[in-house]
Chain A
Amino acid sequence: GENVEQHPSTLSVQEGDSAVIKCTYSDSASNYFPWYKQELGKRPQLIIDIRSNVGEKKDQRIAVTLNKTAKHFSLHITETQPEDSAVYFCAASKAGGGNKLTFGTGTQLKVEL
Chain B
Amino acid sequence: GAVVSQHPSWVICKSGTSVKIECRSLDFQATTMFWYRQFPKQSLMLMATSNEGSKATYEQGVEKDKFLINHASLTLSTLTVTSAHPEDSSFYICSAPLQGAYEKLFFGSGTQLSVL
Residues of A within 8 A of B (CB): 32, 34, 41-46, 49, 51, 89, 93, 98-106, 108
A100 touches B103 (CB 8 A): no
Q: Which parts of B9-52 form the interface with A (CB within 8 Å)?
A: 32, 34, 41-46, 49
Complex-state Cα separation, A42 to B9, whole angstroms: 10
Is B55 part of the binding interface, using a Cβ–Cβ cutoff of 8 Å? no
Complex-state Cα separation, A103 to B49, whole angstroms: 15
Residues of B within 8 A of A (CB): 32, 34, 41-46, 49, 91, 93, 97, 102-110, 112
Q: How many contacts A-B (CB < 8 Å)?
A: 52
A103 touches B105 (CB 8 A): no
A22 to chain B, nearest CB (A): 15
A101 touches B105 (CB 8 A): yes
A100 touches B34 (CB 8 A): yes
Contacts of A100 in B (CB 8 A): 34, 46, 49
Contacts of A46 in B (CB 8 A): 104-106
Residue of A49, A89, A104 touching B104 (CB-CB under 8 A) = A49
Contacts of A32 in B (CB 8 A): 103
Complex-state Cα separation, A49 to B45, whole angstroms: 20
B44 touches A103 (CB 8 A): yes
> Which residue of chain A has the shortest Cβ distance to B112 in the bound complex?
A41
Residue of B49, B91, B107, B109 touching A98 (CB-CB under 8 A) = B49
> Which residue of chain B has the shortest Cβ distance to A106 in the bound complex?
B43
